[in-house]
Chain A
Amino acid sequence: MGKVLDKKRLKEFLGKVSKGKELIAPVKRGTLRFEIININYFDDICLEGRPLFSIKKFFSPAKHDLLKLNLADKKKPFEEEKTRFKPRVIFGARLCDFNGLLRLDKLFNSKEYQDDYYKAARENTLLIGINCVPAPSKYCFCESMGLEKYYDLMLHDMGNKYYIEAGSPKGEALIMTLEDYDFVMPEIKCDKKLFRKDLTQYYDNPAWNSENDKCLSCGKCTSHCTTCLCFDVMDELEVDLKKGKRFKEWDSCQFLNFTLVAGGAIFRKDRLSRFKHRIYHKLQYFREKFGMDMCTGCGRCIEACPRLIDFTEVINKFR
């Protein structure tokens, strides 16, 4: 059993929840996107459709400084960028977005590869979702991906009110004073399906070829993906050639030189091996390593692709 909130009181509720915090919500600026907004612009929030870019940028930014360099200082040529963090509330994201974080956690919040910024962002962000009934895009297939009910709060649109369920003690505390409501959160239904299976034996299947022929290796599928986490690391010095910075920037396995190593060898030179690598990483390798698929069925990679390449169609052919 959850709680109920009159739609007219949403602004007041969000204002209270995000007091002293940054509020992040989907707004329509040309296209729908997640942005940090002031509660006074509450009316800009748009819950129709799901933004083509996920919330991952608030946890692992597209470009991010790692070190301050000062080569003149022989004793301390570099210093780590400090992570200062204002607590945040994400409102209006979807179950696939939040499940994406569970995938990113496996690397960025792990013992071996912990990313301090990511960890701080995770610890200081409240996740308030909107239930995807109906599914916001024809490309969504999260129903097939066995997502977890992972959120602090989930709102379900009931016309003139929201039914709200808490998914964590933090969430529960926020809605304690709201009125009880006897209801069951409806499950998400998607038109698109993915019949998941072990892909090992299909690696050389010719069904990949026709989709690969369409692929431009433009990397839009990975930059838009809710769970892709690959990045490149670069240094930049100022004109004095002493001060500078080391920063990271998202990268993509779809690019020719993603696997370029010292000596000039490239491990995935042909497009087909790169094309399949993305899909196998999402739906095979990650599961073998971490016990869950690295895909939340958000459909962003399909919608963002200039050729609308859709791996579910290929995989569903394998019976």
Chain B
Amino acid sequence: MSKMTKKKVHVRKGKKIKKIINQKKAVSKPRIGIHSITGCAGCQLSIYFIEDVLLDLLDKINLVAAPMIKEQNEEEGYDVLFVEGSVSSQEDLDNLLKWREKTKALVALGACACHGGMQSMKHLMNEKEVESAAYAKFPSDPRVKPITSVPLHKYVKVDFYIPGCPPDKQEIIQVLKHFLQGRRLRVYDKAVCHECSLKENYCLLDQGIECLGPLINGGCRALCPSFNHPCTGCRGLLDDANLESGKQVLKDKGFDVDLIIKRMTKYNSLQFKEFEEKTNINNKK
């Protein structure tokens, strides 16, 4: 290695990725994989929808596993592995644990992988009831034996998150470009309201529409409110979301508490439950 490449690069964690990619550069392009557990596969499709620059990107990487679009897929030696879906069955879990061993960096792709998604609503319901509604009629196949679905980071280390339902094409491109440069992209961590205000949108709350923007992590360039559609939280709750105040905003506008909670938990039941537990503990203190 030359003196230059040995020089310490002050990029947190990005350092490791840079090393991985530099090592590979001499031999080959970075080996990228795309795998799927329980979800709708829409996240993967978002990758293939990057038509405008997909070919340029493919030129720079080695797509070694993408079962949705390729017949020949390699099972190991990934530099970066994208995983979509949430852990919802024993088979999902076995696969995830196996993949984590085979990759240097793991990216959680989409709302399900990052926050649990819709299938995680069991966290707020009676698990047995939900389960029997879906599976009682069928002799259960041990492979699909449901487990309460959780996002990837509940079982394995996740190196980067691309939230959203579906995830944003531009963000996926950004992440890939940053990996190729050996830099770590900053996770967007400002409220949806911020990007909405930068665009000078007419606030939906002011129009009497139940938008969740003030509670939700942005990065989507306020896609939904920009088309007069309320944010339903597909990018997850902010790390320090003020749920109580958020509920009050909507109550003040005359919305029904039940509807408010349904909206908030559409993608983020687990996060919602964890927030509520934290508030309850604090209130007891």
Contact = CB atoms under 8 A, between A and B. Distances in A.
Interface of A: 30-31, 33, 53, 57, 62-63, 213-220, 223-224, 236-237, 239-241, 249-252, 255-257, 262, 264, 271, 304, 306-307
Given A239-B56, A241-B180, A217 B238 contact: yes
A257 B197 CA distance: 18
Interface string B170-198: 00011001001100000001110110011
Interface residues of B, number: 38
Given A63-B198, A223-B197, A239-B177, A216 B242 contact: yes
B198 A257 contact: no
Contacts of B56: 239-240
B191 A304 contact: no
A33 B173 CA distance: 34
A259 B167 CA distance: 27
B173 A239 contact: yes
B90 interface: no
Contacts, number: 94
B63 interface: no
Contact of A219 (B10, B191, B245, B249): B191
B205 interface: yes
A307 B245 contact: yes
11 contacts: A213-B245, A214-B248, A216-B214, A219-B194, A220-B197, A236-B174, A237-B181, A239-B57, A239-B173, A241-B180, A250-B194
A313 B248 CA distance: 20
Given A214-B248, A223-B194, A239-B53, A256 B189 contact: yes
Contacts of A239: 53, 56-57, 60, 173, 177
Contacts of A30: 202
Contacts of A62: 198-200
B238 A237 contact: no
Pick the 9 closest A-B CB pairs, nearest first.
A218-B214, A223-B197, A216-B214, A62-B198, A218-B193, A31-B202, A30-B202, A218-B191, A239-B56
A262 B245 contact: no
A241 B194 contact: no
A219 B197 contact: yes
Contacts of B238: 217, 256
A262 B194 contact: no
B213 interface: yes
A294 to B, nearest CB: 19
Nearest to A71: B181
Given A216-B249, A241-B181, A307-B245, A255 B189 contact: yes
Nearest to B192: A218
Given A215-B242, A218-B213, A255-B190, A307 B177 contact: no
B203 interface: yes
Nearest to B176: A239
A223 B196 CA distance: 10
A57 to B, nearest CB: 8
Contacts of B174: 236
A304 B191 CA distance: 14
A224 to B, nearest CB: 7
Given A53-B197, A53-B200, A223-B197, 11 more contacts: A62-B198, A214-B245, A216-B241, A219-B197, A239-B56, A241-B180, A250-B198, A255-B189, A256-B238, A271-B242, A306-B249
Contact of A262 (B12, B53, B198, B199): B12
B246 interface: yes
A304 B53 contact: no
Contact of A217 (B57, B60, B191, B200): B191
Given A255-B189, A256-B239, A237 B200 contact: no
Contacts of A237: 177, 181
B214 A252 contact: no
Given A31-B202, A257-B189, A307-B248, A217 B180 contact: no
B57 to A, nearest CB: 6
A75 B60 CA distance: 25
Nearest to A219: B194
A216 B189 contact: no
Contacts of A271: 240, 242
B270 interface: no
Contacts of A252: 190, 194
A186 to B, nearest CB: 30
B234 interface: no
A216 B198 contact: no
A129 B252 CA distance: 35
Contacts of B53: 239
Contacts of A216: 191, 214-215, 241-242, 245-246, 249
